[in-house]
Amino acid sequence: MVEKIRVRATLNGEPVDFLVAPYVSLLDTLRDELGLTGTKEGCNDGNCGACTVNLDGRIVDSCCVLGAEIDGSAVETIEGMAEPGKLHPLQQAFLEEAALQCGICTPGFLISAKALLDKEPHPSEDRIRFWLAGNLCRCTGYDKIVKAVQKAAESA
């Protein structure tokens, strides 16, 4: 039995303190150890973006990061995006613009798009398409996702 590693980090603004085996991905840590299943697995090799989370201000595919690596870091997932009773403008725009269908890729898109708007409040359409190229969606054809990000940028 491999010895587990103690990890202390900030998750969606709250301190967390947990044990995790050294080979477990951040994705599985979030879903299985910490009970946050909003982060989704689509490929487990960094190609679909469904597991995107924000790690110290950068977006990462959480399937390609180890849970033990986040010691001392701040992680934001979809569960931390809305304030109580109030959706983030991006969530609101996705809802109003029908920027989702099956919804499995939606958390990853929202985390990616938020990182873009945090850095660049008024990106061009090309810039949005480039930034979101790491997130695959198979239902929408991306059109309404791009429009929702534009709308959220305008409302900010």
Partner 1 sequence: MVGTAEQINLSGERLAKVDALPKVTGSAEFGADIDLPGLLQAKILRSPHAHANIKFIDTSAAEALPGVEAVVTGADFPTIEAGGSAGTGEVDISLRYLSELVIARRKVLFQGHPVAAVAARTADIAEEATNLIKIEYEVLTSVQDPVEAMAPGAPLLHHDMLTKSIGGEADAPSNVALHVELGRGDVDAGFAASDHIVEQTYKTSIVHQGYIEPEAETAWYHSDGTIEVWANTQGIFDHRTQLSNILELEPGNILVRGTEVGGAFGAKAQTRISPLCILLSKGSGKPVQIVLSRTEVLTATGPGAAATVTVKIGATNDGKMKAVQARFVYGAGAFPGAPVAIGCLCSFAPYQPEAARIDGYDVVTNTPRVAAYRAPGATVASYAAESAVDEMAQKLGMDPIDFRLANISKTGDQNMNDMEFTAIGIEEMLLAAKAHPHYTAPLKGKNAGRGIGIGWWPNGIGVSSCRMIVNQDGTISLIVGTMDLSSTRTGFVQLAAETLGLNPSEVQITTGDTSSIPYSGTAGGSRVTRSMASAIYDASQNIVDQIKERIASKLGVTPEFVEFSDGEFAARDVPDNSMSFRDAAREAASGSNDIVASASNDPNMRAANGYALNIADVDVDPDTGKPTLTRFTAFQDVGKAVNPDAVEGQIQGGAVQGIGWALNEEYVYDDTGVLQNASLLDYRMPTALDLPRIDCVILETPADEGPYGVRGVGEPPIIPPAGAIANAIHNAVGTRMTQLPMSPERVFWAMRDAANGSSEAAGD
CA–CA dist 24, 153 (Å, integer)? 36
The distance of closest approach from Cβ of residue 90 to partner 1 in the complex, given in angstroms and rounded to an integer, is 8
Q: Kindly state whether residue 3 participates in binding partner 1, applying the rule CB under 8 A.
A: no
Would you say 9 or 105 has its CB closer to partner 1?
A: 105
| Min dist. Cβ of residue 128 to partner 1 (A) | 7
Report the distance separating Cα 82 and Cα 117, nearest Å: 15
Query: Is residue 105 a contact residue for partner 1 (CB under 8 A)?
Result: yes
The length of the chain is 156
Residue pair 31/39 in contact (Cβ under 8 Å)? The answer is yes
Cα-Cα end-to-end distance for the chain: 50
Q: Residue 56 and residue 70: Cα distance in Å, rounded? A: 9
Indicate which single residue of 121, 138, 154, 156 sits in contact with partner 1 (rule: CB under 8 A): 138
Contact positions vs partner 1 (CB under 8 A): 36-45, 47-48, 50, 77-79, 81-82, 87, 91, 94-98, 100-107, 110, 128-130, 132-146
